[in-house]
Structure 1
Amino acid sequence: MAATLDLNHSSVSEFILVGFSTFPPHLLPIFFLLFLLMYLFTLLGNLLIMATVWSERGLHTPMYLFLCALSISEILYTLSITPRLLADLLSTRRTIAFAACISQMFFSFTFGFTHSFLLTVMGYDRYVAICHPLRYNVLMSPRGCACLVACSWSGGSVIGLVVATAIFHLTFCGPNEIQHFGCHVPPLLKLACGTDVPVVALGVGLVCITNLLGCFLLILLSYTLIVAAILKIPSAEGRHKAFSTCASHLIVVIVHYGFASIIYLKPRGLHSHKSNTLMAITYTVLTPFLSPIIFSLRNKELKTAMKKTFLSKLYPSSNQVASVNVVLEEGRRMTIPSPVGL
């Protein structure tokens, strides 16, 4: 992708990521350890979800297949930002090459928007399951689910390519200090020079806001129809069971868009660089960290499958002994003759 962009018109060959450089040095190792543990837990949690869905045939349904795709996008999103962030926390030279900055922006936008599209698809899946249960197998056929996942990934890739191409076709004359820990669009626009900067800023803003707002409104519409259908269920137990199938997805949506709104809808100029950095961390590190926890704890079926799958692998001998005892007991009952006359 970098090869398709004309980089010769910019005099800047690398950027300096200011990020955490304004924080006291003694806090940086603490941040490193905290973010490293959260990053590793994010990877482990999403891999655990994927392994559970893969190994349990009972979970081979559209809802859990979408969850696997969501876990993949989450892993790749954090991989595009967090390792670089961790390295810069322990480094005194926080520079990033021009091409590396392009790549980071492309992949972070691609996987970030793929994540939003997949959350929208999962909302549609819950709408069909609750509002049209008799047509669920037709509307959410394997081919249809594959098309929805492919469209989500394709849409994310297109937006990532459009944003990265638009930003890095601008001219960067200097200075080259990005007031962020990554190649974020607003700080980069402040470094660009030329008369086309406002046009690019408006275009990129419209692309991002239109897609994010569109995803949010579609999810909101899905849950409006879901709630209306649930309220028509006569029994309280039925209403609770129906809502529990979409509770974890709804919580993740609230967390995802809640932290995103804090970052992108906050008033300009009212926060210091340190507070802006910490708020950006909530979306970059904290949101992916919370997502597998919410899905694992709030989804009873997934939680049960995890216990069944991984406890059997951790304690295979005890399970085998129990199975042998059951077989021996059944055999003993079949072979011992009954007393005469009874």
Structure 2
Amino acid sequence: MAKRNNISTTDFILLGLFPEFQYASLLVYLILLVYLIALTGNSILTFLIWLDVHLHTPMYFLLSQLSLIDLFYISSSVPKMVINHSLGKHSISFTGCGIQMFFCLSLGGAECLLLTFMSYDQFVAICNPLQYTVIMNSKVCLLIAVASWTGGALNSLIQTIYTMHFPTCGLKEINHFFCEMPAVLKLSCEDTSDYEMLVVVVTSIVLLVVPFSLIIASYTLIFLTVLRMNSVKGRKKALATCSSHLTVVSLFFGPNIFIYMTFTSSHSPEQDQALSLFSNILTPMLNPLIYSLRNKEVVAALMKLMGRCGVS
């Protein structure tokens, strides 16, 4: 009660990640380690793509955008959680909660759109290689980046404003480690079922179902093209190029489809937290590892950089 007496009536209380878990401190510091790995991996990958001229291609430009999104995505929730745990605090202001929700939704939406555009890039590269440099020119790549960031931000702005306008009752305890939209809506004094249904029907379709369907369509055409290739080496190279992106798509869309298309009442807060932990924290750490370890050009650029550092 003493902690709650020091909290403003406008503040929210973040109960944290699995509040009943006996080894909460160990879990938080493991997450901090994951955060540092994600920060390092995404920063190195972005730097390599910027530094090495051999990586100045549309595919790697889009990959650098994915790394930047992942950097901000994981940073929107983990530092606050670690600071709160270290200081023994649980509160987050109304404004802070809205800002955190905006950035989480915005970056999640941007990543969703970017992954869809990246599948189109793969489609053009494999199904129409002779026109690749014409179709995926620098202007198109820039438009893709702007569309991804802007689309995610606009969607997030609308959702955040509407979610935060609902009045809340009681202790304002958010059973989560960050201000996730479904968790905040559960605190509302009003019936939010109509809005939840709107989010599921409209936002989920626009930012999850349609992009995922477009990705499936792109890869269906890619695999049909690969099957028609006479060269076994060409098939292996094409499939290797696609495998990293398909892995990242699976890691991103799986948890988010479950959270945002069934979030009304079908799963527990613990399931929400576990899925958010995977989507918001583990995936940004895994993405640069997946693209780096499975990509010879990235590994070669890293070896070249390490060689330069060793010489100097």
TM-score, normalised relative to structure 1: 0.83
Q: Per-residue deviation at 1:187? A: 1.8
Gap change, CA 1:176 and 1:254, over 3 Å in 2: same
Residues 77 and 107 of structure 1 are in contact (CA less than 8 Å); yes or no, is this contact kept in structure 2? Answer: yes
Matching of residue 280 in structure 1 with residue 276 in structure 2: yes
Between the aligned partners of 2:169 and 2:268, the Cα distance in structure 1 is: 25
Task: Tell me the amino acid that sits aligned with residue 50 of structure 1.
Answer: T
Matching of residue 172 in structure 1 with residue 168 in structure 2: yes
Between the aligned partners of 1:120 and 1:269, the Cα distance in structure 2 is: 29
Residues 208 and 257 of structure 2 are in contact (CA less than 8 Å); yes or no, is this contact kept in structure 1? Answer: no
Q: Per-residue deviation at 1:268? A: 7.2
Matches for 1:65-214 after TM superposition, within 5 Å: 65-194=61-190, 197-210=192-205, 211-214=207-210
Q: Per-residue deviation at 1:30? A: 0.9
Between the aligned partners of 2:118 and 2:166, the Cα distance in structure 1 is: 37
Residues 110 and 159 of structure 1 are in contact (CA less than 8 Å); yes or no, is this contact kept in structure 2? Answer: yes
Moved more, 62-71 or 197-206: 197-206
Structure 1 counterpart of 2:245, from 243, 249, 261: 249
Between the aligned partners of 1:48 and 1:35, the Cα distance in structure 2 is: 20
| Alignment size in residue pairs | 304
Q: Structure 2: 5+ residue runs without aligned partners?
A: 1-7
Between the aligned partners of 1:214 and 1:77, the Cα distance in structure 2 is: 22
Please identify the structure whose Cα radius of gyration is greater: 1
Query: What secondary structure is seen at the aligned counterpart in 2 of 1:191?
Result: coil
CA displacement 1:219-258 (0-9 Å, x = unmatched) = 1111011001111101211100122222211111111122
Between the aligned partners of 2:93 and 2:301, the Cα distance in structure 1 is: 45
Gap change, CA 1:165 and 1:272, over 3 Å in 2: closer
Query: What secondary structure is seen at the aligned counterpart in 2 of 1:172?
Result: coil
Query: What secondary structure is seen at the aligned counterpart in 1 of 2:13?
Result: strand
Between the aligned partners of 1:231 and 1:88, the Cα distance in structure 2 is: 53
Residues 53 and 68 of structure 1 are in contact (CA less than 8 Å); yes or no, is this contact kept in structure 2? Answer: yes
Residues 12 and 174 of structure 1 are in contact (CA less than 8 Å); yes or no, is this contact kept in structure 2? Answer: no
Matches for 1:18-37 after TM superposition, within 5 Å: 18-20=15-17, 22-25=19-22, 27-37=23-33
Between the aligned partners of 1:103 and 1:179, the Cα distance in structure 2 is: 18
CA displacement 1:23-57 (0-9 Å, x = unmatched) = 345x1221122111110110110111111111110
Identity rate, percent: 37
TM-score, normalised relative to structure 2: 0.91
Task: Tell me the amino acid that sits aligned with residue 18 of structure 1.
Answer: L
Matching of residue 14 in structure 1 with residue 48 in structure 2: no
Between the aligned partners of 1:83 and 1:267, the Cα distance in structure 2 is: 25
The 4+ residue runs of structure 1 with deviation greater than 3 A are 261-276
Residues 204 and 260 of structure 2 are in contact (CA less than 8 Å); yes or no, is this contact kept in structure 1? Answer: no
Residues 204 and 261 of structure 2 are in contact (CA less than 8 Å); yes or no, is this contact kept in structure 1? Answer: no
Between the aligned partners of 1:237 and 1:133, the Cα distance in structure 2 is: 16
Q: Per-residue deviation at 1:215? A: 1.1
> Over aligned residues, Cα RMSD in angstroms?
2.0
Between the aligned partners of 1:80 and 1:86, the Cα distance in structure 2 is: 12
Q: Per-residue deviation at 1:74? A: 0.7
Gap change, CA 1:21 and 1:226, over 3 Å in 2: closer
Gap change, CA 1:275 and 1:142, over 3 Å in 2: closer
Residues 116 and 215 of structure 1 are in contact (CA less than 8 Å); yes or no, is this contact kept in structure 2? Answer: yes
Query: What secondary structure is seen at the aligned counterpart in 2 of 1:292?
Result: helix
Residues 13 and 171 of structure 2 are in contact (CA less than 8 Å); yes or no, is this contact kept in structure 1? Answer: no
Residues 74 and 280 of structure 2 are in contact (CA less than 8 Å); yes or no, is this contact kept in structure 1? Answer: yes
Partner of 1:52: 48
Q: Per-residue deviation at 1:286? A: 1.0
Task: Tell me the amino acid that sits aligned with residue 203 of structure 1.
Answer: L
Residues 12 and 172 of structure 1 are in contact (CA less than 8 Å); yes or no, is this contact kept in structure 2? Answer: no
Matching of residue 226 in structure 1 with residue 222 in structure 2: yes
Gap change, CA 1:114 and 1:275, over 3 Å in 2: closer
